[in-house]
Amino acid sequence: MRRTVLKICFAAAIAGLALGVPSHPAKSPPKHDTTVLILGGGVAGIIAARTLHKQGIDRFIIVEARDELGGRMRSTRFGAEGRRATVELGANWIQGTQVGDGPANPILTLAKKHGLKTAESDFYESIVTYDETGAVDYLTTLANAVDAYTNLTVVGGGRVPKKQVDTTCRTGYSLVGVKPKTPQEMVTEYYVFDWEYAQTPEQTSWIASSWANNFTFDVDQGGFSDENLLSVDQRGFKHLIQAEAQTFLKPGQTLLNATVRTITHSNDSVVITLANGTTISADYAITTFSLGVLQNDDVLFEPALPIWKQEAIQSMSMATYTKIFLQFEDKFWFDTQFALYADTERGRYPVWQGLDLEGFLPGSGIIFATVTGDYSERIESLSDAQVQAELVDVLATMFPNITIPTPTAFLFPRWFSDPLYRGSYSNWPASFVSPHHTNLRANVGKRLWFSGEAMSQRYFGFLHGAYFEGIDAGEKVASCVLGKSCKSLPFVELISNANPYIV
Ligand SMILES: Cc1cc2nc3c(=O)[nH]c(=O)nc-3n(C[C@H](O)[C@H](O)[C@H](O)COP(=O)(O)OP(=O)(O)OC[C@H]3O[C@@H](n4cnc5c(N)ncnc54)[C@H](O)[C@@H]3O)c2cc1C
Ligand SMILES: *[C@@H]1O[C@H](CO)[C@@H](O)[C@H](O)[C@H]1NC(C)=O
Ligand SMILES: *[C@@H]1O[C@H](CO)[C@@H](O)[C@H](O)[C@H]1NC(C)=O
Ligand SMILES: *[C@@H]1O[C@H](CO)[C@@H](O)[C@H](O)[C@H]1NC(C)=O
Ligand SMILES: *[C@@H]1O[C@H](CO)[C@@H](O)[C@H](O)[C@H]1NC(C)=O
Ligand SMILES: *[C@@H]1O[C@H](CO)[C@@H](O)[C@H](O)[C@H]1NC(C)=O
Ligand SMILES: *[C@@H]1O[C@H](CO)[C@@H](O)[C@H](O)[C@H]1NC(C)=O
């Protein structure tokens, strides 16, 4: 956990405040330290700030606990001395790109604008398969799993149009006649499902996961495309959002190394208290903290949030997606981008990605495995040495004729335990109905607004979800600041039944 106390930057921020002329005409001196506090410097926070800036509002401060902007776009140098490469600990893909001049994923637009280096990620063609006996071709089982998933989203959207009460994707799979039993059937389902949602079909809403898939990947349903680009940029995927921030941020508008502990909201202000006791007041605040942070009281609200808000926060799920990186002296594995490993235990080190490939990180000797959901939580409680031993063991199973050498480097991030995230991204469970989500997004009073990936009804979990929510919260607050209409978002005081779903 980073608890670094803010230093130089705070003085700069205060100086900026003192000197900063409000961009809108004010007859009396400003009542508070700043006009808008943007809490969190990830995609949602940066785009909310850009939205305010575009509306002529430059009196804002982004408050961020870490020592850089980007949030869950987070990279690191990995590898043995003299042989390091940048790898992505968090977001890595632009998911859904663009077809022709159809709607573009805004993250793709930013990637082009800032010259990001990406590689086409081929989930279904560039893949080989293994099980507990070594290399075994079960690509037809994989093709079936892809089909089964499509059937799931079709029936999920149309069984009883707009009147269906939600159930889990496990119910959905069973109703479309898909009941995986063998390790190969389980791992291919995992690849198509858990590897995207970071939780199991049992833990996931049938309806919401289907529309989430459609709105990102299905062009006929308003999606961007079914393609995925993997960032291989050695400045890190975060470069696109950091470079975008630099196009408009001025000194004093960013406070790094500043961890928020409490958010005190009233009818005329929001006051935050940082870990070192410093307080900053504002007319408005937009929190972009992850759902996991909101759920775990890492930041306290005073007064406590109303029950309808707390119920919404606690009822959506924060899933975990964990990439585990290994580096070896020499590459000894597959030449495809992906490999599946079918263990008898569903979810045990199922997906492997090689980076030592032309167009990716050739010569790097880096391969990584992904685990998700409860399995991520399990390994976070183990030591690095224990997890490394398990992975080497799986590699030995996949490659029975090879003596697996000792890795030259090993690393995995613990997103679930990190008090700045408490997981990797949100997932929509079956017991979470549309009015809950309305309440999750809603402002509390006129001063306190909520943004971030989880607030996106269509794109929860994704970078582009955070992006669109940043614009939305920025516009709503700008409208209040500029004295135009200051309309609250709707909320439902008492959710009494699961009404039809409206997207
Ligand atoms: C492992 C992983 C893989 C992913 N893969 C993809 C992918 O391939 N494609 C995709 O589209 N999306 C992916 N995502 C999801 C994507 O990263 C997120 O949806 C998006 O980055 C969220 O942005 P945000 O602004 O809503 O939240 P964040 O990025 O979490 O921003 C919130 C900020 O608040 C800060 N903060 C938290 N607590 C405090 C505090 N108390 N005080 C001050 N600051 C605080 C955090 O440090 C953070 O910078 C992935 C995420 C993870 C973790
Ligand atoms: C908190 O940190 C900032 C920056 O280092 C400093 O200016 C401020 O005085 C600190 N506040 C307290 C109460 O220590
Ligand atoms: C934040 O903290 C880090 C690590 O302690 C330090 O290197 C960096 O200079 C600080 N950044 C700012 C802007 O205060
Ligand atoms: C998907 O649905 C079609 C049409 O009902 C059916 O023919 C096909 O077998 C289904 N696929 C799977 C894998 O269940
Ligand atoms: C998803 O798209 C399919 C078409 O591929 C459609 O039949 C279905 O109704 C959609 N589901 C939802 C929940 O929007
Ligand atoms: C805001 O004002 C309303 C009525 O004017 C009051 O009921 C409410 O408690 C106030 N909220 C806060 C956070 O002070
Ligand atoms: C591994 O060795 C066995 C026995 O020598 C042999 O039959 C098999 O083809 C080998 N497998 C690979 C992948 O080389």
Peptide bond connecting 303 to the previous residue in cis, omega within 30 degrees of 0: yes
Residue 311: HSE in the Cβ half-sphere, 13 Å Cα cutoff: 17
Q: Return the closest-CA partner of residue 453 out of 216, 190, 245, 257.
A: 216
Residue pair 156/171 in contact (Cβ under 8 Å)? The answer is: no
Pocket test of ligand 1: the residue of 425, 450, 469 to mutate, having most ligand atoms within 8 Å of its CB, is: 425
**Measuring from atom 4 of ligand 5, which residue has the nearest CA?**
154
For the entire predicted model, the pTM comes to: 0.93
The alpha helices in 128-182, defined as continuous H runs, are 139-158, 169-175
> Could you tell me how far CA 263 lies from the centroid of its own chain?
23
Q: Which of 426, 437, 448, 449 is nearest to 503 (CA)?
A: 437
**Which residue's CA lies nearest to atom 3 of ligand 4?**
151
Tokens of 120: 């086409």
pLDDT at position 4 is 36
All domains of the chain in start order, with CATH? 2-71+238-318+425-481 (3.50.50.60), 75-124+319-411 (3.90.660.10), 140-180+187-229 (no CATH)
Low-confidence ranges of the chain (pLDDT < 70): 1-27, 159-163, 498-503
Candidate from 267, 270, 448 with most ligand 6 atoms within 8 A of CB, to mutate: 267
- Token pair in block for residue 170: 């496990």
Q: Give the pairing type, strands 254-255 and 60-63.
A: parallel
148 lines ligand 4 (CB under 6 A): yes
Protein residue closest via CA to atom 8 of ligand 7: 401
Q: Does the CB atom of residue 29 touch ligand 4 within 6 A? A: no
User: Best mutation site among 130, 136, 401 for ligand 7, i.e. most ligand atoms within 8 A of its Cβ?
Assistant: 401
DSSP string covering 252-271: TSEE-S--EEEEEE-SS-EE
SS3 396: helix
pLDDT at 12: 40
Q: From atom 12 of ligand 7, which residue's Cα is the shortest distance away?
A: 401
Ligand minimally distant from the alpha carbon of residue 269:
6
Give the pair of three-digit tokens for residue 470: 């940043």
Cβ–ligand 3 distance for 162 under 6 Å, the answer no
Residue with the smallest CA separation from ligand 3 atom 3 is 67
What is residue 198's predicted lDDT score, i.e. its pLDDT? Answer: 98
Residue nearest to atom 12 of ligand 4 (CA): 148
Three-state DSSP at 272 gives strand
pLDDT at residue 499, rounded to an integer: 63
